[in-house]
Amino acid sequence: MRILLLGEYSNVHATLAEGLRELGHEVVVVSDGDYIYHYKTDIPLCREGKEKWSAIKYVTKLLMLLPKLRGFDIVQLVNPDFLSLKAERQLPVYRYLRHNNRRVVLGAFGNDWQWVHSGLHERLFRYGDFYIGDTPRENAYARMLAKEWIGTMKGELSQMVAKDCDAIVPCLYEYDKCYRQVYPEKTHFIPLPVKTPTTKNTCERETHLPIKFFIGIKRHMMDYKGTDIMLEALNIMKEKYPDRCEVSIAEDLPFEQYMEMMSGNDVILDQLYSYTPAMNALQAMAMGLVCMGGGEPENYEILHEKDLKPIINIQPSLDDTCRALEQLIMNPHQLSELKRQSIQYVERHHHYLKVAHQYADLYQHLLKDK
C-alpha cells in the first residue's frame, strides 16, 4: 500500500511509519515535526511564524506540495486540524485529499471538537481534562480549548471531517469512548506505537536509594495536565526524604534531548487527569521506568490485559499523589518488578510492529470494503 501520514503528534506518525515500512508498505510522512520536538519527517511542512509573510510562504510551499499528495491508498490525518492554517483554508485541502486518494483515516490522538464537546457537556468520566465529578476544573488552557473548538469554524471542520472520513482511530481509551458513542461503526481503537530500545539499562541495574523521579513540563499546560500538583508533591517528598529521592525536571526540550535526560531515571510522573498512559509515559516504560499517573481499570480493559498492571495509578489530588510517592519511597524493592512489567506491557500492547500490523489490517479492510 501507498500510505500518507499527514501531521505529527508526540512521534506517533514517525514511529508508525517505521513499522509500516518494515512490513513492506510505501509510507510518506508530511509534518512540522511537532515544532520544538523535531520528530522525524520525510517532507517538512513548517510555518515559521504567525505573520502574514510567513503565512504566504507556508501556503506557497503547501500548493507546490499538493501534486505529490495524490494517488495514495490511505491518507491518515493526525487531527481534523491538520495544517497550520485557519479552518476555512484547510477545508479545500481536505477535499483535494479526499478526491485524489482512495481512503481517508482520521486519527483521534488529541484535542478536537468531539473531545472538547464531550468533556464540557457530557459526564463520560469520573474525572478528566474539564471536570472532576460534577465540579468544573478552572484553568486557562481548558478555557482556551473551549473557545478554540466550540461554536467555531475549526469545530465545524472537525465535525465535517469526522462524518466524512472512512475510519476514525482513537489511540487511548478516553478518545475511543468519546468517538464510539457517535460513530460506532467506523471507530477502531488501536494502541499507540512505541519503538522499544534495544538496551534497557534502567531496568537491568538494581534499584538503589535515592529513587530517581523524572517529570516533563510544558509550562503553559501545567495546571491542565496536573504537572503543577505532581511537581508540588515531588517537592514535598524531596523535603521530607532528601536522601531517598532525586527529582529531574525537563522543560520544553527537543525529543532526542528529552529522551536522553529521561534515561537512567526510575519513575516518571505524567498525566494526572488521564485514565491511560500516553506517548510520553509509554516511551519511558519501554526504557524500564515506572509510570505514576493514569492507570485506571478501563485502560487495561480496552487492551484485554488481565495480568500486567505496572502503572501506579494516581487519583487527581495532591494528597493521593503524595500518598503514592511516599508508599514507593518507603518500599523501593517494588521497583524492580514494576520495571520488568512496564517493559513487558509496552512490548505486548504497543510494540511498533504489532501496532503497524493493526493499522495495516484496518487499511486493507477499508480498501476492500468499497
pTM of the model: 0.94
Domain that holds residue 336: 201-349
Count how many domains the chain has: 2
Same domain, 82 and 25: yes
pLDDT digits (tens, 9 = 90+) for 95-122: 999 999 999 999 999 999 999 999 999 9
So what's the pLDDT on residue 357? 98
- Give the contacts of 306 (CB within 8 A, at least 6 positions apart): 300
Same domain, 161 and 175: yes
Same domain, 130 and 264: no
So what's the pLDDT on residue 300? 98
**Helices vs. strands in the chain: H and E counts, helices first:** 16, 13
Burial of 152 (0-12, 13-18, 19+ CB in 10 A): middle
Same domain, 175 and 284: no
Same domain, 344 and 356: no
Same domain, 186 and 236: no
Q: Are 146 and 138 in contact (CB under 8 A)?
A: no
So what's the pLDDT on residue 282? 97
Same domain, 244 and 288: yes
Same domain, 8 and 149: yes
Mean pLDDT for each consecutive 10-residue tract of the chain (370 residues)?
96 96 98 77 87 88 96 98 94 97 97 96 94 91 94 98 98 98 97 82 62 92 93 97 95 86 95 95 96 97 97 97 97 95 97 98 90
Q: What is the DSSP string of 155-208?
A: HHHHHHHHHHSSEEEESSHHHHHHHHTT-TTTB---PPPB---S--HHHHSPP-
So what's the pLDDT on residue 197? 79
So what's the pLDDT on residue 200? 54
Rounded Cα distance between 95 and 91, Å, is: 6
Q: Are 304 and 258 in contact (CB under 8 A)?
A: no
So what's the pLDDT on residue 30? 96
Same domain, 70 and 176: yes
Same domain, 183 and 240: no
Residue 283 belongs to domain with CATH number: 3.40.50.2000
So what's the pLDDT on residue 206? 55
Same domain, 63 and 111: yes
Same domain, 335 and 321: yes
Q: Are 3 and 76 in contact (CB under 8 A)?
A: yes
